Amino acid sequence: MLLVDDRPENLLALEAVLAPLNQNLVTAESGEEALKHLLDHEFALILLDVQMPGMDGFETALQIKERPKTKDIPIIFITAISQEPHHALRGYSAGAVDYLFKPFDPWALRTKVGVFTELHNKTRKLQRQTEIGKRVEDTAARLRAVLDGGTNADEASALAAELEELSKQLPR
List own/partner pairs for 122-129 with CB under 8 A and 24 or more apart.
125/171, 129/170, 129/171
Strand, helix or coil for residue 145: helix
* pLDDT (0 to 100) of residue 129: 87
pLDDT averages per 10-residue partition of the chain, 172 residues: 96 96 96 97 95 93 95 92 73 86 90 92 88 84 76 76 78 64
Neighbours of 48 (CB within 10 A): 27
Q: What is the DSSP letter of 68?
A: T
Whole-number pLDDT of residue 82: 65
Integer Cα distance of 39 and 162 in angstroms: 34
DSSP state of 46: E
pLDDT of residue 115: 93
Which residue ranges make up each domain of the chain?
2-104, 125-169
Can you give the pTM of this predicted structure?
A: 0.76
Instruction: Report residue 82: phi and psi, to 5°.
Output: -45, 145
pLDDT score at 134 = 87
Q: In this structure, which CATH number among 3.40.50.2300, 3.40.630.10, 3.90.1150.10, 3.30.460.80 belongs to the domain 2-104?
A: 3.40.50.2300
At 116, phi and psi to the nearest 5?
Answer: -70, -35
